[in-house]
Structure 1
Amino acid sequence: MAMNSAIEWTDHTFNPWTGCTNISPGCDNCYAEAWSKRSGHVKWGNSPRKRTTESYWKAPHIWQAKAAQFAALNGRRQRVFCASLADVFDNQADPAWRTDLFDVIRQTPALDWQLLTKRPQNIRKMLPPDWGNQGYHNVWLGFTAEDQVRFDQRKRFIREIPATVWFVSYEPAIGPLRLSEADPKPNWLISGGESGHGSRPMISQWARDIITDCRRHGIPILHKQWGAYGNNPLVQELGLDIASAKVQDPYGKGGGLVDGELIREFPVNRSVSASNAA
């Protein structure tokens, strides 16, 4: 449950509770489920979720207290991914825990909270009563779409639910995904291949295609990683051996360069700025 995160698109992870149930193909090799089996912290699937400790819940307040210093050093606000070992909008989690989470979010206005879910159909009914017509200034809402089918199933929520930032996590990418002219457009998109034991392949061209679509529509995109070097175009297309590919592209699991470019773009949270982080 590391709080200072190595994930390329965030600074911290915060898990108000742990445990989840797999609901789509993207969950098949879930790293959080593998963690639960190794740690024994919580049983995965249709089992009770486990709330984290009160001392752990103090971490966001510590980050908030250091927000001005962080902004001065980095020229931006801190990002908090919630939750890496659970789903904020899981209907099997205790609603009181979610209420407590949104209380913490309100009390930490200088942190940008990245709430990523595979259950966007639950978001509206689980948002706090004061969400309003624009959402909280420090909350980014996102959903996972591992392929075109899942994006098409979930994309309507971008239009239906207001948020300061809407983002899509195309990770693990297990099929192609394209953005059409008619699609509702997120403010940010993350792409990446699957990593770990039993990982499924990502075709190099899928990354190029979604990058092209995002740039056509002015959407910042962050290509996190290829997941495995077998997915990396240096190996997949150019036939380079894996040892050589690791030297040429050491970014992330399986490397992260797309045709020689490291693509790590972020959205601008226009409702706040680093200068008012306090």
Structure 2
Amino acid sequence: MAENSAIEWTDHTFNPWTGCTNVSPGCDHCYAESWSKRSGHVKWGNNPRKRTTAQYWKVPAVWEANATAFYKLKGRRQRVFCASLADVFDNQAEPGWRSDLFALIAATPSLDWLLLTKRPQNVKKMLPSDWKDGYSNVWLGLTAEDQVRFDQRWKHLSAIPASVRFISYEPAIGPLRIVDAPVQPDWLISGGESGNGARIVEADWIRQIDADCAAGGVAHFFKQWGTYGNNPLVCESGIPLAEAKIADPHGKGGGLLDGAIHRRFPQPRPKVSVAA
């Protein structure tokens, strides 16, 4: 649950608690729900959330202690995805747990915490009282799997001040355009669904969102096609599956978009800060 993550856009994952309830079509094949069934750690849906252990909560302090060494090696700050098996702004989570999480975030200023939610309508009322213009080490994001969910959710998050505001268009299960949004995000992650029953992502959806990001000055991180059946090398160019896997090994189903990797991040901070 806390680890050096294989997710391409983060370094670590941290789950202050586990458990969630599905709220939209993007949740239909939720990997976290599948994990809960395999592990038996928590019952999914309208059931009590489960806080992780006190020992586990000490792990981010280890990452913080390694901040200077990491920066010297990588030339950037560490990113922490929180929470991959829950939702920080879930109103079924104990409010005291969220307070403890923000205290931990404040105590680890050298880590950039990426808080991704499907419940942006809850964010404003659940932020700490000293949020003001945002914590410098917190990036606020929302999942929008299609245009309907973007239109519903972005109006809430775009009104909240934050160091970085981002969109996860993953799994992309319908077209999404952001070019006409009055406020643009700083960053957008896109990707097709993977695993059993993965739904189709059309190549033109990704091309269109990439063009929108370029027009709006938004950093675009295209993660993956999800399956090679979605990859244009196969579905447009007719390359055999085995050859496509060799030609494009970047992520599940490959990650090339018209022959190039599109994995950009929002502008990094100019220097690392280390807690005294």
Same fold (TM over 0.5): yes
What code does the residue aligned with 1:276 have? Answer: S
- The alignment partner of 1:201 has SS state of coil
What code does the residue aligned with 2:102 have? Answer: F
Q: Which moved more, 1:163-172 or 1:176-185?
A: 176-185
Q: What residue is the counterpart of 1:165 in the other structure?
A: 164
- The alignment partner of 1:150 has SS state of helix
What code does the residue aligned with 2:110 have? Answer: A
TM-score, normalised by the number of residues in structure 1 = 0.97
Contact 2:193 2:200 in 1 (8 A): yes
Return the alpha-carbon distance in structure 1 between the equivalents of residues 212 and 43 of structure 2: 39
Return the alpha-carbon distance in structure 2 between the equivalents of residues 159 and 227 of structure 1: 28
Return the alpha-carbon distance in structure 2 between the equivalents of residues 20 and 69 of structure 1: 35
Tell me the percent identity.
Answer: 67
Deviations 1:254-273 (A, max 9, x none): 0000011011100014xx43
Q: What residue is the counterpart of 2:70 in the other structure?
A: 70
What code does the residue aligned with 2:63 have? Answer: W
- The alignment partner of 2:64 has SS state of helix
Deviation for aligned residue 1:183: 3.2
Aligned residues: 275
Deviation for aligned residue 1:160: 1.3
Q: Evaluate the alpha carbon distance shift between residue 277 and residue 75 of structure 1 in structure 2; reply closer, same or farther with a 3 A threshold.
A: farther
Q: What residue is the counterpart of 1:109 in the other structure?
A: 109
Deviation for aligned residue 1:240: 1.4
Return the alpha-carbon distance in structure 2 between the equivalents of residues 183 and 176 of structure 1: 19
Return the alpha-carbon distance in structure 2 between the equivalents of residues 192 and 73 of structure 1: 28
Q: RMSD of the alignment, in Å?
A: 1.0
Contact 2:13 2:82 in 1 (8 A): yes
Return the alpha-carbon distance in structure 2 between the equivalents of residues 205 and 277 of structure 1: 43
Deviations 1:87-125 (A, max 9, x none): 000000011100000000000000000000000000001
What code does the residue aligned with 2:115 have? Answer: L
Q: What residue is the counterpart of 1:31 in the other structure?
A: 31
Return the alpha-carbon distance in structure 1 between the equivalents of residues 181 and 94 of structure 2: 37
Which stretches of structure 1, 4 residues or more, deviate above 2 A after TM superposition? 180-183, 272-278
TM-score, normalised by the number of residues in structure 2 = 0.97
Deviations 1:217-270 (A, max 9, x none): 11100000001111111111111121111000001000000011011100014x
Q: What residue is the counterpart of 2:202 in the other structure?
A: 203
Return the alpha-carbon distance in structure 1 between the equivalents of residues 157 and 115 of structure 2: 14
Return the alpha-carbon distance in structure 2 between the equivalents of residues 138 and 234 of structure 1: 39
What code does the residue aligned with 2:37 have? Answer: K
Deviation for aligned residue 1:215: 0.5
Contact 2:144 2:167 in 1 (8 A): yes
Contact 1:158 1:184 in 2 (8 A): no
What code does the residue aligned with 2:68 have? Answer: A
Q: What residue is the counterpart of 1:273 in the other structure?
A: 270
Q: What residue is the counterpart of 1:147 in the other structure?
A: 146
Q: What residue is the counterpart of 2:22 in the other structure?
A: 22
Return the alpha-carbon distance in structure 1 between the equivalents of residues 78 and 153 of structure 2: 27
- The alignment partner of 2:261 has SS state of coil
Contact 1:71 1:277 in 2 (8 A): no
Deviation for aligned residue 1:182: 4.0
Matched, 1:129 2:126: no
Consecutive unaligned residues of structure 1, counting only runs of 5 or more, are none
What code does the residue aligned with 2:101 have? Answer: L
Contact 1:77 1:277 in 2 (8 A): no
Deviations 1:158-215 (A, max 9, x none): 4311000000000000000011334320000000000011110100111111001100
Return the alpha-carbon distance in structure 2 between the equivalents of residues 255 and 75 of structure 1: 27
Q: What residue is the counterpart of 2:220 in the other structure?
A: 221
Consecutive unaligned residues of structure 2, counting only runs of 5 or more, are none
Deviation for aligned residue 1:277: 4.1
